[in-house]
Amino acid sequence: MKNETREQDKKRLNSDLIVGTFSLALGALVYFSTRELSRFGGVFVDYVVIALVALSAIVLVKGFIKPEYIIFFDSVVERNNVLVGICILLLYLIALPIIGFLPSSYTFYFCFNLYLADDRFTKKNILSSMLLTVVVVTAFYFIFHGFLEVPLPRSMWSE
């Protein structure tokens, strides 16, 4: 009985420290890689980074005061779903500078929508994913490129 409890305790990790540290690192990465954005584009990013760092600090403090120990992946299926999601995201990040913002974003958002859906390949889900993809990605394009004047990645052939 004691061995089972010890083995479960070994698998449990302080999620607050892990998430807080990762979020702080992400905030620093975004901050230092976006210093040359336009004035309007930089304002949006700066507010998001400030919020991210503030919330990360709160989570880190909580991790020391009242930590929450969890098992990150209860099953192999859950772990594999997260890994597939990370692979889709990495493919998107690789495709951005090669084919540009719009084609890669349309493809990524559509694929991720299908992947996260319960009924992945039904006609209804495919059509709703296509419609949602067009609306969301196009809206982001006009907000960030048109209004905030954020330089979005262009394809390597259009430069």
Question: What is the pLDDT tens value at each position of the chain, 159 positions in all?
Answer: 555 555 555 578 888 999 999 999 999 998 988 888 777 777 888 899 999 999 999 999 999 999 988 887 778 888 888 898 899 999 998 998 899 999 999 999 999 888 888 777 888 889 999 999 999 999 999 998 888 777 888 887 766
Residue 115 contacts residue 84 (beta carbons within 8 Å): yes
pTM: 0.67
Q: How many residues does the chain have?
A: 159
∠ CA(92), CA(135), CA(40), 5° rounding? Answer: 75
Report the pLDDT value the prediction gives residue 10, as an integer from 0 to 100.
54
